[in-house]
């Protein structure tokens, strides 16, 4: 009887060991990159450790071998971050981004003395195309395009444009309208504007990150080509509540004078420098390996009360390796749900804190359930500054 019990215990122990080993191996095999603070020891699952190359973990980036029970499993990249304290955001800001090229906002008819014409449509131009050059001259503004139209309308304009990452060429032949002026039947814009939320500010130089995602073309969803930009203090005056199938949005206005500049538009957010900021409070950041499912706090501005803290939960970690949509977050705060219905447009960039540390930001709302959305790890946003 004792022998049988002993065998059962040994079998149970073996099963537990196999389970732990499998769990550790599965955890590390799902990742191509791990992160650690300079001077710290990396998190290692049960029966797992990392073997480093030369230099330990003091270099900014290197590789390590994942070893499970003495067996090398795979190589992973190691990103080493300096321990960082940042000012948590939560305040709304306005962004005005100037693109490389001129965006086609729409095409239409030109009224002639004896009818109508659609020269832009006839040339094949469509809404959201980006005009790169006109007659070999780099396209930089709608005003410049108007001047070139006046100067060359009689002969036509050689247009190079981009549509969903593919470049095309065409010739646009303007027509003379009922008032004797050359028109292209084209509406253009060289800037785009919107409201988002600041995620963090670096106290040493007032550099900041926000949105948690890039500003993209409407159709292709590709990043708008960045030329320059400004940021403005924004005031929230109202909210369109979100509901299933219909995302809500924050409504407000910008101050007339800019409060900072933009320097980049990336997959992980927009980045720039503020002229001034409140430096009375800073928090530590937590790297992605320390982020877990469970309770979190978010900071955001949804009315005239300013930045407020609300309850939420991380319900699932999706990916440690992608640049965005790293986890799913659910709003649980009844007050915020009453005000907004959950996550609404304009809350992108809202900081997420877990155990008092900044771990990431809200990036997108789930259209069919506004109480849920996606988040990005803070190190993915800070990685822009590290490069």
* The total number of structural domains that make up the chain: 3
The one catalytic residue in 213, 268, 371, 384 is: 213
Structure tokens at 299: 């900071």
> What's the domain range around 42?
2-81
Residue 10's pLDDT is what?
60
SS3 for 350? Answer: coil
Residue 38's pLDDT is what?
73
364 as an active site residue: the answer is no
Structure tokens at 375: 């988040």
Residue 102, domain member (yes or no): no
Structure tokens at 370: 């506004």
49 as an active site residue: the answer is no
213 as an active site residue: the answer is yes
Structure tokens at 313: 């939960």
- Cβ neighbours of residue 366 closer than 8 Å, sequence gap 6 or more: 343, 372, 373, 374
365 & 256 share domain: yes
Residues 156, 162, 166, 171, Cα dihedral to 10°: -10
The one catalytic residue in 35, 207, 268, 348 is: 348
**Signed CA dihedral, 323, 325, 328, 334: sign only:** positive
Q: How far, in Å, CA of 316 to CA of 281, rounded?
A: 29
247 & 362 share domain: yes
72 & 89 share domain: no
176 & 41 share domain: no
92 & 117 share domain: no
Residue 113, domain member (yes or no): yes
> In sequence order, which ranges of the chain are alpha helices (DSSP H)?
2-29, 119-122, 142-152, 334-340, 378-386
Nearest to 349 by CA among 368, 324, 313: 324
Give the range among 116-120, 346-350, 352-356, 357-361 with minimum mean pLDDT: 116-120
Q: Please, are residues 240 and 249 in contact by the beta-carbon 8 Å criterion? A: yes
Find how far residue 209's CA is from the centre of its chain: 10
Half-sphere exposure of residue 175: CA atoms within 13 angstroms, side-chain side: 20
Q: How far, in Å, CA of 192 to CA of 194, rounded?
A: 7
Residues 98, 100, 106, 112, Cα dihedral to 10°: 110
**Residue 321's pLDDT band (boundaries 50, 70, 90)?**
confident
DSSP E strands: which ranges in 306-368? Answer: 308-317, 327-331, 351-354, 357-366
Residue 68's pLDDT is what?
64
The one catalytic residue in 27, 129, 190, 333 is: 333
> What is the average pLDDT across 22-42?
61
65 & 133 share domain: no
Give the range among 77-86, 177-186, 245-254 with minimum mean pLDDT: 77-86
CATH number of the CATH domain containing 328: 2.40.10.120
> What is the average pLDDT across 64-90?
76
Residue 103, domain member (yes or no): no
Percentage with pLDDT > 70 across the chain: 80
Residue 1's pLDDT is what?
52
**Signed CA dihedral, 317, 321, 322, 324: sign only:** positive
Q: How far, in Å, CA of 354 to CA of 232, rounded?
A: 29
């Amino acid at each position: 009887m004792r022998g049988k019990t002993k065998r059962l215990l040994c079998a149970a122990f073996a099963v537990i060991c196999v389970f732990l080993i499998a769990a550790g191996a599965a955890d590390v095999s799902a990742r191509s990159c791990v992160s650690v603070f300079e001077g710290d020891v990396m998190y290692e699952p049960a029966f797992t450790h990392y073997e480093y190359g030369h230099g330990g973990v003091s270099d900014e980036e290197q590789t390590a071998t994942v070893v499970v029970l003495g067996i090398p499993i795979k190589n992973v990249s190691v990103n080493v971050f300096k321990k960082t304290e940042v000012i948590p955001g939560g305040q709304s800001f306005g962004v005005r981004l100037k693109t490389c090229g001129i965006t086609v906002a729409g095409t239409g008819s030109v009224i002639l003395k004896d009818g109508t014409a659609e020269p832009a449509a006839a040339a094949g131009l469509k809404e959201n195309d980006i005009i790169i050059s006109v007659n070999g001259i780099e396209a930089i503004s709608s005003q410049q395009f108007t001047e070139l139209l006046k100067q060359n309308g009689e002969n036509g304009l050689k247009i190079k444009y981009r549509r969903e990452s593919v470049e095309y060429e065409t010739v646009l032949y303007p027509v003379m309208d009922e008032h004797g002026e050359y028109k292209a039947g084209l509406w253009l814009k060289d800037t785009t504007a919107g409201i988002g939320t600041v995620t963090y500010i670096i106290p040493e130089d007032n550099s900041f990150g926000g949105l948690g995602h890039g500003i993209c073309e409407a159709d292709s969803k590709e990043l708008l080509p960045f030329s320059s930009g400004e940021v403005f203090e924004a005031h929230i005056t109202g909210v369109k509540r979100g509901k299933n199938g219909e995302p809500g949005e924050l409504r407000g206005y910008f101050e007339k004078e800019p409060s900072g500049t933009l320097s980049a538009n990336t997959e992980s957010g927009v980045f720039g420098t503020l002229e001034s900021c409140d430096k009375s409070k800073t928090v530590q950041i937590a790297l992605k390996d320390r982020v877990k499912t469970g309770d979190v706090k978010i900071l955001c501005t949804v009315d005239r009360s300013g930045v407020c803290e609300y309850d939420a939960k991380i319900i699932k970690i999706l990916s440690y390796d992608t640049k965005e949509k790293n986890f799913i977050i659910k709003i649980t705060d009844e007050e915020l749900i009453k005000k907004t219905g959950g996550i609404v447009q304009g809350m992108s960039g809202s900081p997420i804190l877990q155990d008092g540390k900044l771990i990431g930001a809200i990036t997108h709302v789930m259209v069919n359930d506004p109480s849920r959305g996606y988040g990005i790890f803070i190190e993915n946003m800070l990685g822009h500054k590290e490069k």
